[in-house]
Structure 1
């Protein structure tokens, strides 16, 4: 059975993007970049990885899940951002833009879709955002991999959208601090 991993950059105060949806304060360069890429390779858009000379081979994931807002960050320039992965975008009302070859746009219950994906053969499934989708899938998330960045947003898109749900327990499997100030905190469901 495949695992669902929520792998995402997050501020110290728990936001995956600032009040205007910005995420440009997250550090992409520093001593954390190479070790994190070695562990979670293939988690950059294909064109950006190619431009940086990073191989997308050997990724722990073969499928990426996104809500519409996360997907739309790359529009119009990257309508198929993760061409090296199976791409699934959850949306209720948006149509596929031109050039979105290889992207599946789904208007179904994300929990049902994830359960089907977990039953398939393959590598891990990566939830790359956003906070609303993460909240819906909270009980299906097997692992958390949080690139905690040394910034405060104060407001914005939370790691998990608030809601009325039971607390879930996770246990840390690794916490790796870097000189850049980024800490990779990894957890598995308890």
Structure 2
């Protein structure tokens, strides 16, 4: 069965973006990039991967899920940022048609449960915090690219809420000289 993987960069203070949704402070150069790009090449925008010569096999991820704010970060330059994947944007906004991209107002939990029943590679939860919170109970695996910086405020990994603790087991951590660490957890069932 396909897994829902929340693969995301996060600051030391638990933010996936700064107070104005900025994410450009995250390190995109350094010794961490080669290892991360090799394993998670499917999570790089199609045009950027092509420009850098990074293969995108579709073996790791077959589908990417985004909220409207996450998708809008690439607009207008990249209306279909991950054309190599099935892209689903959860939004009530009207978006122009784009290659391999669909928008929906459907319940994200119902969509994910249906996707998990289909054959294929894993499902990547790209962001943001509101969507991650809605899908919290469906997340099978967390892969956090912990960045050595503090935003002080911003978009949290999950939106604040009153919910029960959900245990995850540590799978691995890989630390790079750049200060970035890649940590993976799997949901304890």
TM-score, normalisation: structure 2: 0.97
SS of the residue corresponding to residue 36 of structure 1 reads helix
Partner of 2:69: 69
**Alignment correspondent of 1:10:** 10
Choose the corresponding residue for 1:114, options 106, 112, 115.
Answer: 112
The question of whether the paired residues in 2 share the 8 Å contact of 1:86 and 1:102 is answered with: yes
Shift of residue 59, structure 1, vs aligned partner? 3.8
Query: 2:65 & 2:163 partners in 1: Cα distance?
Result: 22
Please give the secondary structure, in 1, of the residue aligned with 2:130: helix
Match of 1:81 in 2: 81
Unaligned runs of 5+ in 2: none
Kindly indicate whether the alpha-carbon contact (under 8 Å) linking 2:169 and 2:187 is maintained by their aligned counterparts in 1.
yes
How many angstroms apart in 2 are the aligned matches of 1:110 and 1:58?
22
Structure 1 position 54 matched with structure 2 position 54: yes
- Structure 1: distance between partners of 2:110 and 2:57: 29
Equivalent residue of 2:43, what SS?
A: coil
8 Å contact kept, 2:65–2:124: yes
Q: Note the C-alpha offset of 1:163.
A: 1.1
Root-mean-square deviation over aligned CA pairs: 0.9
Q: How does 1:18-167 map to 2 (within 5 A)?
A: 18-92=18-92, 94-97=93-96, 100-167=98-165
When the two structures are superposed, what TM-score results if normalisation uses the length of structure 1? 0.96
The SS at the match of 1:116 is helix
Name the structure 1 match of 2:172. Answer: 174
- Would you say the 8 A contact 1:43–1:59 is kept in 2? no
Give the drift of 1:58: 4.8
Q: Which runs of 5+ in 1 are unaligned?
A: none
Q: Distance in 1 between matches of 2:162 and 2:35?
A: 36
- Aligned-residue offset at 1:101: 2.4
Contact 2:14 2:157 in 1 (8 A): yes
Structure 1 residue ranges (4+ consecutive) displaced by more than 2 angstroms after TM superposition: none
Q: Deviations over 1:77-128 (max 9, x none)?
A: 1101100000000002x1122x522211010110000000001111100000
Q: Is the 8 A contact 1:63 1:124 kept in 2?
A: yes
The question of whether the paired residues in 2 share the 8 Å contact of 1:147 and 1:184 is answered with yes
